[in-house]
Amino acid sequence: MGTFRRREKKFLLDPVQYQHFLEQASPFLKRAEYFESVIQSVYYDTQTDALIRRSIERPLYKEKLRVRKYLGTEKDPLVYIELKKKFEGIGYKRRALADWNELNEKGLSDCSYSCEQIGKEIRQFARVYPDLHPRMRIKTTRHSYVDKEDPDIRITFDFNVTYSDEDLNILEFNEGKELLPEGTVILEVKVPENLPLRYTKILAGEKIYRRPFSKYGTAYLKELGMKGAAI
């Protein structure tokens, strides 16, 4: 169904930084085919939260599994199931389709997938972590752009990010708790290799600095009572 390899760089922007960055970057960007979307993801973890606890430690290698759904397709039980791995800053994603109802009924190991090879990898992941279960739901509104010169360069902005660790039905786009301070925008740049100079100049000029950030990790720490946490 899909295999992706890329570097992902994340930045947290205040409203002024967002406006200034977009104004200066607009000559280099065009709207993606699906420009505006509401995305909902459910992250899986073990009973001891082993995956997110390891991720928070920022190891050279980390992995996670999530299910993703887009607003407007709620009546269709098909969801994207994504196996994500990162090694030394390079992200790898394997993605296939699955039926959400079947997934909940049979589990990761016995569910059927649109791509058998990726299905085998998901089942292997489930054997390594046999107690995987839905753990956190994240919802965000996203604006997506691609670079005019290199369509493999994607730039996205996430707004109004909410989360819930109780309401985990991905087919229902319910509201959750606010993840970040009001007005905060998540800028994510996805590139095959290095970010072109035309963008790094804008970031430097606006004093926008890269920082490790995880929506799931930040939500997890907030629920542990670590107020103001953002990783």
Per-residue confidence band for 86, with pLDDT thresholds at 50, 70 and 90? confident
Indicate left, alpha or beta for 49 from its phi (over 0: left) and psi (-120 to 50: alpha). left
In a domain, 228, yes or no: no
As for how many domains the chain has, the answer is: 1
- Can you tell me the distance from the alpha carbon of 12 to that of 73, in angstroms, rounded to the nearest whole number? 29
For the residues 184-206, what does the mean pLDDT come to? 94
pLDDT in tens, 152-177: 999 999 999 999 999 999 999 999 99
Element (H, E) at 121: helix 116-128
In a domain, 16, yes or no: yes
- Can you tell me the distance from the alpha carbon of 89 to that of 225, in angstroms, rounded to the nearest whole number? 29
31, 38, 96, 125, 159 from 147: Cα distances, Å = 9, 21, 26, 34, 20
The token pair at 42 is: 């459910």
Q: Quick one: angle between helices 15-25 and 197-205, nearest 10?
A: 150
pLDDT in tens, 35-52: 999 999 999 999 999 999
Nearest-5° Cα angle at 108, 114 to 175: 90
What's the pLDDT at 205?
96
In a domain, 231, yes or no: no
In a domain, 230, yes or no: no
In a domain, 89, yes or no: yes
16 versus 7: the higher-pLDDT residue is 16
pLDDT in tens, 141-154: 999 999 999 999 99
What's the pLDDT at 4?
72
In a domain, 172, yes or no: yes
For the residues 105-119, what does the mean pLDDT come to? 95
CATH number at residue 53: 3.20.100.30
Where in the sequence is the domain holding 61, given as residue range(s)?
2-223
Per-residue confidence band for 226, with pLDDT thresholds at 50, 70 and 90? low
In a domain, 229, yes or no: no
pTM check: above 0.75: yes
